[in-house]
Amino acid sequence: MVLVVVGGDGGPASATGGCASPWVYAESQAWWSPAPGTTGGQDFGHVHVGACIPERDTLTASTALPVTVILHNNPGVLQDVGVVYRRDSSEKTVAKVAPVQRTCPAMETCTIAMTAPIDLAKFSHSGLQEVRLRVFVTEPDGKVLHASLNFQVDVENGKTRSDVTRESYLRSKGWYTGFGYCEADVLGVPVPDGPVSGTVSFAVQQVDHGSGDVDPSYHRVALDSDAHAGIPGTMLAEGFGPMVPALVTVDTTRLANGTHRLVQRAECARGNQVLAGVSVLRFDVQN
């Protein structure tokens, strides 16, 4: 864990995954598409919420996170991005940011940059606390597609210390009305917040967390994949059903120095429809 003393401009200098070190870039995507081999399913594209995050770092002053929202082939209306503080058994929305009622022309990609405030005074306790960034899109059928990025920070705000313990790791979740959540997780904490070299392992999982969610039907983990550019990347793991906690290993000596992406895709299918939750974690290689 790294002690970070920041003001309102978003962290100290130098770069980690394109972010101010020791912050790292993580992203959650939610996809809503027809199930392969079926007819009549809806294709509402997807929505991203990504941010430079102080994952597991210590904050001693309020700050703001650089956040990027992307609508891709999505005919819906962007409502807002909520900043949520989560405890083990409760949560509260402390801020909402983003243009209101924003749409993107059909078959185009719209990128919206913003900042999300992290106000230490609004945490009810000090210690390990959870922050969730949630982006909401109302789709043409009147239902909601949303992506949620969950991470933890160590807060020093002078209040009684009470650490969160419930699923306290990096989580990227897609959600759709009537389907619940479909998510991909990075279990190893803290995630790399500096250059890595040699052989690196990431602990990951893609499992069902709630009784109201559609079960995972397919899982995939890849290196440097990019769906927008049609790049499949290097497959690290793939299969039907959920992915129980596992280690995926990357030999960074076979990679170019610079920023790379660990991309997970969990799919939750029912009938002629698929909800997917995608996790993107950037890391830097320096051999």
Number of domains in the chain: 1
Q: What is the pLDDT of residue 17?
A: 66
pLDDT of residue 193 exceeding 70, the answer is yes
Nearest to 56 by CA among 120, 2, 118, 125: 2
Structure tokens given for 254: 């076979």
Nearest to 122 by CA among 166, 86, 77: 86
Global pTM reads 0.92
Q: Percentage of the chain surpassing pLDDT 70?
A: 93
Q: Residue written as tokens 């967390």?
A: 209
Spell out the SS3 assignment of 77-103.
EEEEEEEEEECCCCEEEEEEECCCCEE
pLDDT, tens digit, for every residue of 9-46? 333 334 566 788 789 999 999 999 999 999 999 999 99
CB-based burial of residue 212 (10 Å sphere; 0-12 exposed, 13-18 middle, 19+ buried)? exposed
Q: What residues make up the domain containing 252?
A: 3-285
Mean pLDDT value of segment 122-139: 97
- DSSP single-letter state for residue 227: T
Residue 228 identity: H
